Amino acid sequence: QNLKDRSNSTMQLWTNHCEYILAQRFRRGQQIATFYYRIWEENAFKKLLLGFRRQAQRHIKGLVLSSVGVCVFDWHTERIQYESIKNYFNEIDLVQKLKQETLMCRLCNKRKVMSEKFEGIEYCTCADCNRLSKSENGWEPYLERKDMIIWRREEKPTLFAYKMYVIYSDVTADDFLHVQTDVEYRKKWDDTAISLEIVDTDPDDRTKSHIIYWEMRWPKLFANRDYVYNRRHFVDPSRNLIVICNKSTEHPKCPVRPEKQRVENYWSYMVIRPFTSFKKPGLEFVLTYFDDPGLALPSAITSWVAQKQMPDFLNKLYLATKKYADQRQEHSLDAFSPWESFKGKPESSHNQEKEKYRIPPNRDNNVCEDEVSFA
């Protein structure tokens, strides 16, 4: 019994001693904090605490990066191959067939009215020809704007792919391609791009392929969408065509973030054909795209994306191309060409101009000769 009492007494003394030491350390910490707070004032003290916090976060980030560092993006398997997109080179001709199937009256061969009439188009007046048709492969007319027609096709229940046919008579294909592939310039004209970064580049320089992270602003009450996608473009001078393709992928530098809605199923194909040449104004293009946000959205939101957001984006793209062309002409810079070197002012001066207006210095024809034959 005496041994038990002694043990209890010893434990109580040890507990009291620990409590005393902890209380003393806590009191000392409060005194130090109060001392520095009085000396440095509130803002400086907050900066001190923020510095400690950043240092801790840096150590944590280093541990995370070291754990994923062994994960390397496999360009050999993830690279967009020509074989997977070669059918899209015929997209503009197929759209002409699509217009004939879905928008032309079979009686008078004139245009049916979608939502409103536009100047320069001869419309059908047949009594029994007001109904729009659906194509054999499921595309149905959806929306029309001046020099723009949009079709859609249901890929999954309530999820649609969209196909847009657009004509721009006063921009060149070279300028149009440059504006679309320059992510730094896009940050200036696209106010919906919260973040837009090239996170990886294909080691095979011929492909001109990149992995891009893109965060897109969405309306309030909705999380912003973000994308990680592989981008590659092909140029075929023999057929006077450019194809820009984007396809969602995964990359170790772009983990899913809980505060954003990652779009894991996204693809788009844009086929550009100039009226005459890549350097002269006038072009038509077809953009076909699909994205699955991974959650059910109200029909009002999906309609907003298709009817307002995408046409607005294309209008911004058009205006940005016009502005870029005006700046290039003002400073006597040659048009961007995906297969010709930069030609301009003497070496000492044109480097600054290239950096200012982001004219790529040596953009060779990026259709690999082992992929496309130039007949």
On whether residue 58 sits in a domain, the answer given is no
For the chain, give the mean pLDDT.
79
Same domain, 123 and 233: yes
Provide the domain count of the chain: 2
Per-residue model confidence as pLDDT tens digits over 170-190: 999 999 999 999 999 999 999
pLDDT over threshold 50, residue 57: yes
HEC assignment per residue over the chain: CHHHHHHHHHHHHHHHHHHHHHHHHHHHHHHHHHHHHHHHHHHHHHHHHHHHHHHHHHHHHHHHHHHHCCCCCCHHHHCCCHHHHHHHHHHHHHHHHHHHHHHECCCCCCECCCCCCCCCCCECCCCCCCCCCCCCCCCEEEEEECCEEEEEEEEECCEEEEEEEEEECCCCHHHHHHHHHCHHHHHHHCCCEEEEEEEEECCCHHHCCEEEEEEECCCCCCCCEEEEEEEEEEEECCCCEEEEEEEECCCCCCCCCCCCEECCEEEEEEEEEECCCCCCCCEEEEEEEEEECCCCCCHHHHHHHHHHHHHHHHHHHHHHHHHHHHHHHHCCCCCCCCCCECCCCCHHHHHHHHHHHCCCCECCCCCCCCCCCCC
Per-residue model confidence as pLDDT tens digits over 62-117: 444 434 444 578 898 899 998 889 889 999 999 999 999 998 888 888 888 887 88
On whether residue 367 sits in a domain, the answer given is no
Range of the domain at 33: 1-53
Same domain, 158 and 37: no
pLDDT over threshold 70, residue 40: no
On whether residue 165 sits in a domain, the answer given is yes
Of 63 and 136, the structure prediction assigns the larger pLDDT to 136
Query: Domain with 232 in it: what CATH number?
Result: 3.30.530.20
Same domain, 94 and 48: no
Per-residue model confidence as pLDDT tens digits over 293-343: 877 777 777 777 778 888 899 999 999 999 999 998 887 666 554 433 323
Of 21 and 34, the structure prediction assigns the larger pLDDT to 21
Same domain, 112 and 254: yes
